[in-house]
A = this chain, B = another copy of it.
């Protein structure tokens, strides 16, 4: 029954039990071992050779043409290809159309080269294949996860030795948790905040059990809101939608000229809400340590003061900026983060881990009790089962990667990377300001900045023009930046991203900006100059007779 007929012509692959089960046992003989190693060699260095040649998000083949090649909707009954051919295809056919995020010229997104040992560590995690949802499928790995959670918690909160000795391996308390990404980490934080605000009381069994409708009734409120600057990540809106409070109730507070939350606006919003007689509850205020678009850091200490004064839950989205805490030189930029009720940090961003790893930390080790779930077959009360307090279910042991990486790099190693990014961004900002045809739009606070091509003649005309003229010029400049970004990306040499901001320079009008994220240690000022040169060149070629008067 388990053996297929062997009467088929050679080269036709047939699924058969013997071949199949062999893939479940690692081979004992040297030849078979050598083959497996050869594949790894191909993966490590075959991909490497490609990555050297190929840069950025190249459009050599259009996305449309590419998509047309992947329209096979049938799972083949028998194997389509041998393993060796599948691996070769991945390396030679697929990878050249992936994006070389490891290039030092790829400075458009929060994805970069990672140390090569991260790939080894990920391989170990895959080979062990532990499931940290429960101790029975992870054992030591769950214990290590609790240790690394304590290490990062300490980096943020700097509690006492006694505090950590009490909680690090406690089966009752939780210093934080791992999850797929920052989006889900932010969702976890607001889930905890919601349940803490709408907790059980006087016969009401809590929002988690009875739902929002009952919770609003029990607390006599009509809505919950979350206050965050307009630079807040869209995951917060999504969390508002998912949690049932409505994404329109994630209220965007204006920012100041440095793209930090405007504290006056915030205070006024809080007062207005308080004046409504308690019908609106403020679920949380979210501070950002490294906004996605501009890398700005909100005044966390002041935000914490406001939260304390008003008894409001304080979450900090440090998905990007969190690891800055490892730099003695720049950790002060995040001062006040230790006062947050919860903090999001992403591992696949500035901890240089492979895709993906999100984390959320809590000041209060019992606050996650508000999101506890048990089942008779899993996550038993009092066990080390990490699935008890988690948005997620089954989960791979990425904590093992972080634990190892911290040992290999040391906080000083991470600090060197962070400092390189911040300092290179500053150099780059100075370079942009030196060039007549560019404008620095947002000065880097961490290692992200935005700027735009803004030809000097247009700058002058803008300043002298009336509002209609200014609108026309701004639209032209927007078109220029939109096009230059696209053409540079398609040329495949380098990649910056673009976004749309509103700034004090021309309030109320959208400005298309180029966005640079400097995290790759191989990205230096020479490379960034090359990128500016290329942009200027593209501009000259694509807009030879740009005339704002027409």
Q: Which of B21, B26, B101 is A45 in contact with, Cβ under 8 Å? A: B26
A-side interface residues, number (CB < 8 Å): 184
Interface string of A518-539 (1 = CB under 8 A from B): 0011100000000000000000
**Other-chain contact of A151, B73, B129, B210, B384 (Cβ < 8 Å):** B73
Question: By the criterion CB–CB under 8 Å, are A407 and B138 in contact?
Answer: no
Q: State which of A36-44, A300-308, A471-479 sits at the interface with chain B.
A: A36-44
A426 lies within 8 A of chain B by Cβ: no
Cβ of A548 to closest chain B Cβ, rounded Å: 24
Is A151 a contact of B409 with CB atoms below 8 Å?
Answer: no
In the complex, A463 has a CB within 8 A of chain B: no
Contact A76 B117 (CB under 8 A): no
Inter-subunit contact B182/A115 (CB<8 Å): no
Q: Which chain B residues lie closer than 8 Å to A497 at the CB level?
A: 136, 377
A130 CA to B248 CA, complexed, in Å: 32
Q: Are A520 and B246 in contact (CB under 8 A)?
A: no
- Knowing A120-B39, A124-B47, A128-B95 touch, does A181 contact B108 (C-beta < 8 A)? no
Interface: A316 (CB within 8 A): no
Q: Determine the chain B residues whose CB is within 8 A of the CB of A70 once the complex forms.
A: 140, 143-144, 146-147, 168-169
The answer to whether B74 and A102 have CB atoms under 8 Å apart is: no
Q: Is the CB of B394 within 8 A of A123?
A: no
Contact A40–B120 (Cβ < 8 Å)? yes
Q: Mark out the residues of chain A between 236 and 254 whose CB falls within 8 Å of any chain B CB in the assembled complex.
A: 237-238, 240-249
* Chain A contacts with B in 369-396, Cβ cutoff 8 A: 371, 373-379, 384, 391-396
Which one of A83-91, A257-265, A330-338, A432-440 contacts B? A83-91
Are A44 and B37 in contact (CB-based, < 8 A)? yes
Knowing that A90-B400, A98-B139, A238-B391 touch, tell me 17 more A-B residue pairs with CB under 8 angstroms: A26-B45, A26-B116, A39-B120, A40-B40, A57-B136, A63-B135, A71-B168, A72-B147, A73-B161, A74-B154, A91-B124, A98-B141, A111-B137, A123-B126, A207-B246, A209-B246, A356-B394
